[in-house]
Structure 1
Amino acid sequence: MNPIDFLIEPLGYTFMVRALLITVVASVVCAVLSCWLVLIGWSLMGDAVSHAVLPGVVLAYLVGAPFALGAVIFGVLAVALIGVVRDTSRVKEDAAIGIVFTTLFALGLVLISVTPSQTDLTHIIFGNLLGASAADLVQVVVLGAIVLAVLVVKRRDFTLAAFDPTHAHAIGLSPRVINAVLLGLLAMTAVVALQAVGVILVTAMLIIPGATAYLLTDRFGRMLWIAPLIGGVAAIIGVYLSYGFDTASGGMVVLVQGAAFFLVYLFGPRRGVLGARIRSRRRAEAAGRA
C-alpha cells in the first residue's frame, strides 16, 4: 500500500472519520487546558478530577442525565473533599488528593460492576473510540466548543488568578470563583476525552501537550498555540497508526504524545538534554582553543 492509499483508505469508513474528529477535538481541548494545569502545578489535581468523575458519569447514565452534569458534580465534590481533608487533618494535600480520587474512582468501578446496562460501561474506563456514535460526536464537539470558548474568552482572568491572585483580587476578580470555574471546565474536559481514551488515559492528554509546549517556549501565549498543535497532530498520527497496526486507538494517541514529549526533551532546540550537552561541549572546546 502506497502512502496516499494509506491516508485515504481509513476515510472511507464512517467510524474512522468519527474517530478522527472526536480524537482531534478531545486532544485540542485537553491540550489548551493543560497549559494552565502544567504551569500552576495542577497536574495532580487534573489526575484527581479526571478519575473522580467516573461515578458521576455512571450515575448520570443511570438517571438519563447528560454525562457532563454528573462529571461536573463529582469533580466539584472531589475538590471539596480534598480541601476538607487537607484543612481538617494532618494529611498533606498530595496525600488528600490520592485518597479522594482513588476512593471515588473505586466507587465508579463498583457502580459499573453492579449497573445493568445494554452497553458496555467499561468503555468509560478504557475508551471506545472506534465504536463512537453520531450522538457521541455531537456531545464531544458541543462540550469541546463550550470549554474552548470559555478558556479563550477568559484566558487573561485565568492566567492572572493563577499567577498573581493578589493583583486579581485587587482589580475585582475572585480567584476562588475563577479557580472553581477552571475546575468545572476540567471536569467537562474529562467527559470530552472519555470517549477517545477513557478515564485512565485522560490524565496523559491533560498533561503531556502542555508539558511539551513548556519545553519549547517561555511565553504562555505561544504555549496556547503549540500545545493544541502537538495534541492535534498526535491525535491524527495515533489514529492512523492504530488503524495500520490494529492497536488500541486511545493508547496509540497517548503513546504518540509521549513520544513527542521525549523527542522535545532530548532534542529540543533550547532545553533538550542532548542539545544542551552538545552546546556545552562546543563552548568548552571553543574556550580551550582560545
Structure 2
Amino acid sequence: MSGLEELRPEAVWSAGAELGEGPVWVERDRALWFVDIKRQKIHRFDPASGDKTSWDAPEQIGFLLPAQTGGFVAGMQSGLHRFDEATGAFSKIVDVEAHLPGNRINDGTVDPSGRLWFGTMDNHEESPTGCFYRFEGGQHVQAELPKITITNGPVHSPDGRTLYHVDTLAQTIQACDVAEDGTLGPSRPFVRIPEGEGFPDGPTVDSEGCVWVGLYFGWEARRYSPAGELIGRVRFPTSNITKVAFGGPDLKTLFATSAQQGLKPEALAEQPEAGSLFAVRLDIAGLPGSLIAL
C-alpha cells in the first residue's frame, strides 16, 4: 500500500453541503467547481485567492461541466441545460427522461473526444430506473448498459478506450471497452467494495490510469490500479465522501466533495466538517479535463 494513508486532507470550504458532488477543475479560470444537488447550488472555489462564489440552480443539479464554446453544461432534474456563469442564466438543451419524473440526472464526465457521458437515477434511491447516456451531435443516446438504481461516473481511461461505471447500491465498479463511435462492449467486473466498507460514489482517473473513487459512509477515497488492485487510500474526517477530482496548476491537488445527507444529528455533531470541500496535495497528477463539444 502507498503512503497516501498518512495524508490529512484540509477542509478548504465549509460549504455545509447536503449532497456535495461533481468536483471539476476548469483550467480556463483556474478554479474548482462543484454542486450541492439537494440545495440546488453551484459553487466555484479559487484556490489561489481563496475566493468562493455560489449560484442558485432552478432544479436539482447533478453535475456542471465546461463546454468548448464557453460556459457550462449542467445536468439538471429535467435534462441538460446551458449555464452562463456571467449572468447566472440557464437555458435547456434537451429533455432527458421526461417520461420518468421520479428520476434525475446524477453524475457525468467528458471523454477525450468531447462526448458528454452521464447517468440518471431514481431520486428516491429505490427503483432500478437509472440509465447511462452519451451526448453528442445535439442528441443523447442510451448507452448499452443495464438499468440500475443509483448510477455514478462514468469515467474513462486516459486513452478513452475503457469506460468505468458505478452501481452504488451493488457496491461495484464495472469496466467496458469503448469503440471509436462510442458504442460499448460488454461490462466486466472491475472492483467490488466489501460489505460494511462504504458505497462507491463518484470516480476519477489519474495520469497513470488508476481509478479513484469516493466512498459514501466509508470515510475515504480509494485508488485502484488498472488491474483493479487496491493500491492506496486517503482518509477523511467525515464519512460521506462523494467524489474526487484532480486540480491545481500541476493537477496534483486532490479535491473531494462530501455530504451531510444521511447523517443523524449525533453524527453531524461528531463530524463538523461534513459537507465541506476538501483538498490534499499528492505526488500523483490527474488528467487534463476535456471540454464538451456542442
Greater gyration radius: 1
TM-score, L = length of structure 1: 0.26
- Tell which has more relative contact order, 1 or 2 (C-alpha 8 A, sep 6+): 1
TM-score, L = length of structure 2: 0.25
